[in-house]
Structure formats: structure tokens, C-alpha cells
Structure 1
């Protein structure tokens, strides 16, 4: 099931949309591209090697131990970097909405690129103990894939969960709670005052909608990866059945293709970016996109005209 739904094209759509659409080409969306790169690595590299393990067993990795180490390093780094990017997105949205006067100073193009690169470096540091003897890599006989050795060191398992999941989780929750409180307070102030300009209200609403989209993406990550994370602590005796481990791992990796779907369903700018990107490569799609865009614009203008007439009446 996960094989059919998880395709390399999903994160490519996100990257292509951000590159090709002027509305999406912002410093904040650099973190989205960084997240999509991590997703793409999981889908293109980690998942195929997992399926090889599920189909053929440990044979190929026993003969090529270096291959199992390589897949394990890539797997841990990509999954850790995904969570780090979600935390970075939450901080970015918090500063954009709550501390707008600081945003352009904090998230310049150069600084944001450095931040995105730093997230991969942090992921490498979290993976590094597996190469120095604290943790380790192995072909997991339960998940039938190469990853960190979940049984070799409980202390490293705790370290990995705390640094790669719980600390980013706490940071994300704090940011989104603060965004929610700020938006609620702002709406009350707007309701009491008529001095707010319509354009500023629309821009702020767009930012809030985008923050909501990213929060939904975060919740999906949590739902997909929590079951596997719980097995690391509640099955230290390694007695749970293999099919359950495989299921939890596949659900976790499925999250890598789910993000782009969520962007499309919850954010109009990403939907338009996907269509614009696809129109460059699929014959005939450009004509359909233009026709649909003109129809949407006509409906919007008619709605605006109707509202203005109602206001006159």
C-alpha cells in the first residue's frame, strides 16, 4: 500500500512549485524545499533498500556491510532533518506573524540558506554516535531494513528520541500556541477598530493560513512516526511481531510523500504552483491551467462585484 502512494514525484512537485512560482519564492519556503529534499531522499534511497530487505532478507547487506551502513546513515539523517525542518518552519511562522518587525533581519536569503544547511549538520551530529561506538547500525530483523541499532544502547535511543523528536516537538507546540494566542488577540483588536487597512488584513490572513498548513503537516508527521517511536521503548525485549514493525516503519516513511499532498489540499498558492510547474512538462496541461485560472479569476471578480453592490444597497 505504501509503495503505491509513496512516489518521488511528490516532493519534486513541492520543490518545482517553489522554484517556478513567484508567490512561493520566499525565504520562509526555503525550509519547505529543505524538508522536500529530506523527503525525496527517504523516498528515492531509503525506501527502495527497505523493500529489498523485505523481499530478499539480509543476504545482500551481509555481503555488503558498507551498504547497510550507508543506508542507515542516510535514513537517520533524513528523518531527523525532516523533524528539524518542521521546527524551523514553526519558528519562521512565529517570527513572521508575531514579530514581523524582526523577520526581514532574521530571515535574509543568506541567513536562511545557512540555517537550512545547519539543520543537515545537526542531523549529522545526532547520527555521529552510531559511528563512534555509542550506538550502531544494523539490519533490523523486525523492520527488515537498515537503520540505527535500536537494541544496542538504550541511552542512545533516548538521546535520539529527545533531540530528534521531543525537543523539536516542544518548540513547535510553543510556537503554534503563541501564534494562536496572537491571532486571537489581533482579531479582537481588529473587531474593536476600523482603522486596519484591507490589504494588511489580507496579508496577515494569508500568513495565518500558511501557518495552519504547516501545523497540519506537523501533526501528520507526529501521527506517522509516533507508533514506531513508541516501539523503541515499549518493546525492549524485542517480542513484538515483525509485521507490526514493518507496518509502523512504512507508515513513518509514507509521511515523506504525504507532505506535498497536504500542501496542495490546504494551501491555494501551492495548488497553483503545482499546476504551473506541471504545465511546463505535460503537453496540454498549460491550456487547462490557463482556462481554470481564468474561470477562477472570473468567479472571484464576480463575487467581489456582488459584495460591493450589496454594500451599496
Structure 2
């Protein structure tokens, strides 16, 4: 990763034009992350219609992603563009701790939402029992407590680099980890939540598909509608898992492999994979919020300042769609971070 000897300099080789372009591009990503997730927090906090057990997870997720954009991404942007770390060794540790904490918390919330939707769709009769307010609160505490344990403790005490004999320049902030921490932290922060999401979403899709066929098998037109909705459900589920895997799998794969190949992964590769993970926090409010018409309307009301107009209230209806009572039996309000798939 770093050349031998004392001639190493972290000074960037990028020209002025490329630096300006990178600053502009990454700044847009940071702004989207902060604004998008802040809109999610505002919408759930203001509109009573959006205050549900699942949306408690969504709100906490948005807080984590918003903090990624506020306290992690700006400093990572400077490090990526300039090639140097200007903020001191202590803040490097703090920044790395916050990076691991907030990104892990974001991933944990995604798995909790998948778990919540599994009970809502596959075990609706016991959903209110399994997802009571106290249990939702406990799961949210876990979503923050476990990331704190695997971030601040090991990193601030330098346990994550125990046995690593690579000496880095003082003006470089690279998150090196030993083999034990790399494997254990990656398993807890990514692979375990990924397994939960895969199992939950697969069972949700199978249950929704089975229910749609049972309800619509008697009429050809309704059967065609059911098949069309099944394809929509499959597409949406594929987008959810596809985005999550595409943007986080590369980073955690390299994070495990790098200590076993003597830390030979190039810095540019780390930067690309790390920013792919950050992009996931940028996309969460768009991927999860904008798939839901109630969230879309709430966002538009805040953007257009319509919440300040006379007649608007926190208890107003956010969905214009009215369902026939006979169709409600065929309605699955399946939401993954507030995505509704109607089957």
C-alpha cells in the first residue's frame, strides 16, 4: 500500500481541475445524504400517519445516515481529494470510530426493518405482539449499542491494529485492521445483517406470491394483475438487496482480504469501495422513502413549505388512494424502509 523508505509523501498527484470536479461531485453526494435523510426524519416526526413501528426503524436509520453525511463524509472527502489528513492523529481515530459506528448502525437498521416486515407479512396475527413499542425500542438500542462496542472501544484503544507493524506517516489516516478484527467486525457489521435480510426478504416474497395466487386464481384478469404485481414485488426486492450488496459487499470483502495479503490493496481501491458504501446512505431515503406515496407527498409538502399553509396539520391524510373493501384482503402493506408493495 505504501512505498518503503522515508520518501513517501501523501501529497496528491491530481491536478486542479480533477480536484475541483471531485470536490463538486462528492459535495453533491454529501448534500443529498443530509437533505434526503433529514426529510425522512422531519416527515416521520411531523406526520402522525407515518408514525408506525416500522417507521421508528426508518427514522433511526435516517438519523444514522444523516450523521454519516454530516460528520463522516466531509472529512473523508478532503482525505480522498487531497491525499493527506490535515486533522491530526486523535481526530483520525475519532473519525474512524464514527465511520464504523454510523455505517454499521445503518446496516443494522436495514436488517431490523427486514425482520419487522417478515413478521408483518408472514406472521400478521402475532405482529403486534412481536413488534410492540418496547421491543421496537429495544431493537433500536441494539442497532446503536453493538456498533458502539465494535467501533469506539477497539479503535480508540488501538486494539484493531494489535500486531500490525506497518508504520504510517503522520499526515495519513488509513484504517488498517488486524486479521481478527477484520473478520469479526465484518461478520458482525455486514455478513450477519446481510444473512438476516436475505432470509427475511426471500420468505416475504414467497409468502406474498403464495397469497396473491390464492386470492386471484379464480379470475383470469385478476390473475394477470397478480402476476404483474408479483413481478413488481420481485423487482423491488431485487433492487433492495441488489443496491445493498453492490454498495457494501466490495468494501467488506476487501476489508477481510487485505490483512491476509499483507495490506497490499491500493489506497484508490479503498477510496472507491468506501465511497460506494457511503452512497448507500445517500440512496436510502430515495430508495425507501420515494417508493412510498405517503412519504413522497410528505417530502413535497416540506419542500414546497405547504406544511406552513392554513389547513395543513400533522394528522392529515397523506395517501389519495382509496381501496375497495373487497380488495383489502389482497393488500399486503409490505414496507422495507417504508417501501409498500401492493399485492
Structure 2 distance, partners of 1:145, 1:280, is 44
Could you list the per-position Cα deviations for residues 245-283 of structure 1 after superposition, in whole angstroms to 9, with x for gaps in the alignment? 222212211211111121344221221121123344798
Structure 2 residue ranges without an equivalent (≥5): 1-24, 220-228, 313-318, 325-343
**Equivalent pair of 1:2/1:250 in contact (CA under 8 Å):** no
Could you list the per-position Cα deviations for residues 193-231 of structure 1 after superposition, in whole angstroms to 9, with x for gaps in the alignment? 79xxxxxxxxxx9xx97x986763443222112222222
**Equivalent pair of 1:220/1:255 in contact (CA under 8 Å):** yes
SS in 2 for 1:266: coil
Equivalent residues in 2 for 1:281-296 (5 A)?
A: none
Instruction: Say which of 120, 128, 134 aligns to 1:110.
Output: 134
Partner of 1:229: 252
SS in 1 for 2:95: helix
In the TM superposition, residue 164 of structure 1 has moved relative to its aligned partner by 1.0
Equivalent residues in 2 for 1:1-313 (5 A)?
A: 1-7=25-31, 8-54=34-80, 55=82, 57-61=84-88, 65-127=89-151, 128-136=153-161, 146=173, 148-150=175-177, 153-192=178-217, 216-235=239-258, 236-280=261-305
Q: TM-score, normalised by structure 2?
A: 0.69
**Equivalent pair of 1:6/1:43 in contact (CA under 8 Å):** yes
Structure 1 residue ranges without an equivalent (≥5): 195-204, 290-295, 305-313
SS in 1 for 2:94: helix
In the TM superposition, residue 86 of structure 1 has moved relative to its aligned partner by 0.8
Q: TM-score, normalised by structure 1?
A: 0.75
Structure 2 distance, partners of 1:252, 1:141, is 24
In the TM superposition, residue 91 of structure 1 has moved relative to its aligned partner by 0.4
1:124–1:276 Cα change, 3 Å: same
Structure 2 distance, partners of 1:37, 1:215, is 25
In the TM superposition, residue 119 of structure 1 has moved relative to its aligned partner by 1.2
Structure 2 distance, partners of 1:101, 1:75, is 39
Partner of 2:6: none
Structure 2 distance, partners of 1:21, 1:191, is 34
1:213–1:112 Cα change, 3 Å: farther
Structure 2 distance, partners of 1:59, 1:278, is 36
In the TM superposition, residue 126 of structure 1 has moved relative to its aligned partner by 2.1
CA RMSD of aligned residues (A): 3.6
In the TM superposition, residue 31 of structure 1 has moved relative to its aligned partner by 0.7
1:6–1:131 Cα change, 3 Å: closer
Partner of 2:331: none
Structure 2 distance, partners of 1:69, 1:157, is 16
SS in 2 for 1:60: coil
Structure 2 distance, partners of 1:110, 1:275, is 32
1:19–1:135 Cα change, 3 Å: same
Greater percentage in helix? 1
SS in 2 for 1:110: helix
SS in 2 for 1:168: helix
